[in-house]
Chain A
Amino acid sequence: MTANSKNLPRRQLSLRKQDGRTAWLLVLPALAVILGVTLWPIIYTFILSFFHAPTGINQVRTFVGLGNYLEMVKDPTFWETIGRTMYFTVASVGVEMVLGMGVALLIHSHPWGWKFLRFSLIIPWAMPTIVNGAMWRWIYSADFGALNGLLSQLGLIKHYIPWLSLPNLAMPLVILADVWHMMPFVALILQAALATLPLELDEAAAVDGANAFQRFLKITLPLLRPAILVALIARTVDAFRVFDIVYVLTNGGPANKTLTITFLTYLNSFPWGKQGIGASLSFLISVFTISMALIFIRFLYRPEENQ
């Protein structure tokens, strides 16, 4: 594939040129669409982030340089929002990774009904995010929710609790709903990776007297590294830009306790009509996710696989 074109006979060279033209023709429609719906908008967003740009008829955009960015970093809400987004990302991804690993190992040890368990994991994952949010909102409902019903029937609570109105519990409850939705993603990836691991190493270590925990730590975990990375990075990029589930479950409340960075960007861009601030916030989110993407590609896209 990588042969030097100078060494090829003349007939093949012209074929090669023809090939190049065909390739461009095939790639062109996709490139045009991608340029139109992602590259051009992201550049526009970047430019817009240097303008004071209120929405509305007859509103004029004025160049403010780094003004939006300065206004943003001076606003304590911004830093609180960053902190909260980090909290959501670290907690939900952390719990999903640990639980997902546990469930993957459980399936891998083939208990009765392990195929049913693997089958069941697909349902929460395939559930639309908004339906998931609506479902959990109804579970957490203060008056008729299943959580209150369950806990009071078990005798754990005496009075019904307005779960989502409690400032310190709102975020953990959003995280629980996210864990239900996305833990299966982690479990399915890790379980598939576990199924491909060679058994010999594990057996040899067992013969040498290593216990199950040592074998997991020294053999399984290092071998699972690529799969763990895929799951970890995919989930981190995804969790950092969380919006849908917050929108449905808490709408950022109570008292901004679940306001995340994408939600703040949405509020600035649309309901509050501050497009300049919205643009600078969303550009920052892009920078973060693109850097995550670069790590993603670095770890996943290994050229040797294509040869």
Chain B
Amino acid sequence: MKTRKFLRKLPLFLLTLPVLFFIYFPILWLFSASLSNQVDLFALPMHWIPLHPTLKNYLDIIFPSLASNSVPRTFAVALLNSLKIASAVTIISLVIGSMAAYALARIPFKYSRGILLGIIATRMIPEVSLILPLFIIASSLQLINKPIILIITYMSFALPFAIWMMVAFFQTVPIELEDAARMDGCSRLGILFRIVIPISVPGLVSTAMFIFLLAWDEFFYALIFTSTLASKTAPVAMSEFVGRYAININGMMAGGILAALPPVILALAFQRYIVRGMTSGAVKG
């Protein structure tokens, strides 16, 4: 009996190996490059494990004043920009979004269904269809290369997503709780802030995680709206270094790992919320 079970389990296990190889080979290679020094990286035949592993590439980005090269300095600033912008987008869309989502989920009023469907539909409009007018108005208001323009334009995907996801969470709050509170004379706003939001904390957390990931990942608006060192985000900085062989690739790879860490850690930490968010329409571009 035991051997039969073993023989049944073995082929399945063997099937997981190529999948794991496919997932980890690129990541490990990226990691290996980020730990190499410039000389080893360009040595032939190539080495899978760096001959002289070093943390210098990471330290240069974390302490940019010590770096001799412009790559780590750019990354240090860009990562910080990304962090500020993604955090601001997350907080703003969560606040505005949860108010709207509560009204749409729980207060019956005229046009509520139409508004909800309209909001879901805007989620599907690609950034490229909005960029020209946004660019024209941003130029005339002199907002190019200012972080605020990214925070505003990121609302075009963050806010509909926040509303869509939180409507689903708010609908699961037991209506009896709200009714009881209304009997006690609690206002709608009171219900929202004292009952619905505290109960929906897991939902809010996973919504926040998704918005942060979307904002952190965003590239197209950032490419169009930012070009100065002080304003560009991590993806823009990364894209500028790609393909320029003269600059230090290992530094770039360390930058890539650092840029990947916040979203990957967030996603792993909130693993169980991920699929729910995906099915509520997380189209990640």
Contact surface of A with B, Cβ cutoff 8 Å? 1-2, 16, 19-20, 22-24, 26-27, 29-31, 33-34, 37-42, 44-45, 48, 103, 106, 109, 111-114, 116-117, 119-131, 133-139, 143-144, 146, 149, 153, 180, 184-185, 188-189, 191-192, 227, 230, 234, 237-238, 241, 243-244, 247-248, 251, 262, 265-266, 269-270, 275, 278-279, 282-283, 285-286, 289-290, 292-294, 296-297, 300-301, 306
B125 touches A289 (CB 8 A): yes
Contact surface of B with A, Cβ cutoff 8 Å? 9, 12-13, 15-16, 19-20, 22-27, 29-30, 33, 41-42, 44-46, 48, 96-97, 99-100, 102-104, 107-110, 112, 115, 117, 119-126, 128-134, 136, 152-153, 155-156, 159-160, 163, 171, 187-189, 192, 213, 216-217, 219-220, 223-224, 234-235, 238-239, 241-243, 249, 252-253, 256, 259-260, 263-264, 266-268, 271, 274-275, 278-279, 281-285
B13 touches A122 (CB 8 A): no
A137 touches B243 (CB 8 A): yes
Pairs across A and B, CB under 8 Å, 30 listed = A2-B108, A22-B188, A23-B109, A26-B102, A26-B192, A41-B130, A41-B134, A111-B16, A114-B16, A123-B27, A124-B23, A125-B284, A128-B260, A130-B235, A133-B242, A134-B242, A135-B29, A146-B46, A185-B284, A188-B274, A188-B275, A189-B278, A234-B282, A244-B219, A244-B235, A248-B238, A275-B132, A292-B124, A296-B124, A297-B121
A247 touches B239 (CB 8 A): yes
Question: Closest CB of chain B to A13's CB: distance in Å?
Answer: 13
B110 surroundings in chain A (CB, below 8 A)? 20
Q: With CB as the reference atom, state the residue of chain A lying closest to B113.
A: A303
Q: With CB as the reference atom, state the residue of chain B lying closest to A250.
A: B243
* Contact residues of A: prevailing secondary structure: helix
Known pairs A128-B259, A146-B25. 10 more at Cβ < 8 A? A27-B104, A45-B132, A45-B133, A106-B12, A119-B268, A122-B267, A123-B23, A126-B264, A251-B243, A301-B120
B109 touches A243 (CB 8 A): no
Are A144 and B46 CB-contacts (below 8 A) given A42-B129, A106-B19? yes
